Amino acid sequence: MSQRFKDLYHWLNIQFHRIPAVPRNLGIMGLLLCAAYYASSILITHTGGENNSALVFVVAVALISLRTSGYAYGVAASIIGALFINIYFMEPYDAFSLSRTGYPVAMLSMVVISCVVCALTARVKKQAIEAVHREKKTRALYEQNEKLNAEKAAIQLESERAAIRENILRAVSHDLRTPLTSISGTVSVLLESPEISPKNLAMLSDIKQDADSLIVMVENLLSVTRVQDGTMPLKMREEMLEEVAGDALLTTRRRFPDCHVELDLSEDILYLPMDSLLVKQVIVNLLENAIRHSGDTEHITLRLYRQEDWAVAEVRDQGRGLSPEVYQAVKAGQPMPRSLSGDSTRGMGIGLSVCQNIIKAHGGFFTAENHTGGGAVFRFGLPIEDQPA
C-alpha cells in the first residue's frame, strides 16, 4: 500500500507541475487562504472574541511563500489575510472597520510579520534550491573526475603494456642476435671447406641466407623499439650521401653476390648532416626488399640526386610492384597485413617501418609507389643545410 501511495503522489506531483506557473501559484494561494478562512471560522466558534485567526493566516502565508515562486504571492496573501481578519474575524463582523483602538496597529503588524515570514521562507527556499544545484554540480564534477581518472589509468596501463612489450622485444632481439651471428659465422667457415658435398653446400648456403635474413630482422626490431621510445639518439655528422650509399651497396653485394644493383649518381655532391649508420641501414633495407620481394634481381637501381633542398635516394626495380595491401600499409607506416606475412613478405613490413621511423627522425620524407614502366619505387629525402663556399 505504501508503494502505491508513493506512486500516486509522484504521479500527482508530475501532473501538478505541468500546470503553468502563474495559474499554479494563484491556485495554491487561493486554496491555502480558503483553508485558513475555514480554520479560523471553526476556531472562532470555540473561542469567541479571543480568536487566534491572525496566527492561522500567518501560517497560511508561510506555506504560500514556501510553495510558490517569488515574493509577490506571499505579500499579496498577507494583505488579503489581513483584510479577511478585519472583515470576518474582528468586530464589527462582516464589515471593514478601523474604528476600534489597536486595529490599525494590529493589521499593520500582521502584514509586516507576514511579509517578514514570507521573505525568510523565500530565502530558505532559495538556499535549498542553490544547495540542490551545488549538489548536482558537485556530483557532475565528481563523475567527470572519476571518468578522467579512469581514462588516465587506462592510458597509464596501455603505456606500461607498451613499455613491457618493447622491453621484451628488445631482450629477445638481443638474445637472438648472438646465436644467429654465431650460426652465420660457423656456416661461412663450413662453406669454405673443400670436403663439403654439393648437396650439403646448397643446404649450408640456404642456412646462411636465412640466418643473415634473421639477423637483419633482429637489427630492424631493435631499431624500431629504440626509435619509438626515443632511446636511439641520432649521431648527426656531416657526411656525403654517396659514401654512405656506396658502403650500403657493398654490404648488400656481400650478402647477395649473384644480384646486380646499379648505382646512379648525380653531378651534385650531397653533403649533409645525418646519422650515417642509420641511413645506411635504410638503404640496405630498401635494397634487400627489392632483391627478396620484387622478383627482379637484375634491374635494381640505386639513384642519388638533389631535389631543391632535399638529398634524395631512390631504389627502383622492374619486378611485380606493390600490391594495394602492401602499398596502403607502407603509406600508413604500418607492418604488413597478417594475410601477407608469409615467406614472400617476411620482414618486409618491419624493414619499411624502420626506414620510415629513421627518416622521420631525420626530418625527411619517405614514399613508395608503383612505377609506370613496371616495378616499385621507394624514395626518401633528407634536408640539406646550405654550406658556406
141-190 pLDDT per residue, tens: 998 988 988 888 888 888 777 677 666 666 666 666 667 777 777 777 67
Per-residue pLDDT, averaged over 221-247, amounts to: 74
- Determine the pLDDT at residue 222: 66
User: Mean pLDDT across the stretch 200-210?
Assistant: 74
CATH number for the segment(s) 234-383: 3.30.565.10
Which of 82-86, 127-131, 307-311 bottoms out in mean pLDDT, i.e. has the lowest?
A: 82-86
Q: Determine contact, residues 294/375, Cβ cutoff 8 Å.
A: yes
* Distance between first and last Cα of the chain: 100
**d(C-alpha 144, C-alpha 12), whole Å:** 34
Check pLDDT > 90 for residue 313. Answer: yes
pLDDT of residue 223: 65
Residue 119 C-alpha cell reads as 521573505
Considering the chain, what is the average pLDDT of its residues? 77
Mean per-residue pLDDT, 229-240: 73
More confident residue, 196 or 259: 259
* DSSP 3-state of 381: strand
Question: Residue 103's pLDDT band (boundaries 50, 70, 90)?
Answer: low
Q: pLDDT-based confidence at 388, cuts 50/70/90?
A: very low
Averaged pLDDT, 373-380: 87
* N residues, the chain: 389
* Domain ranges, ordered by start, for the chain: 2-147, 234-383
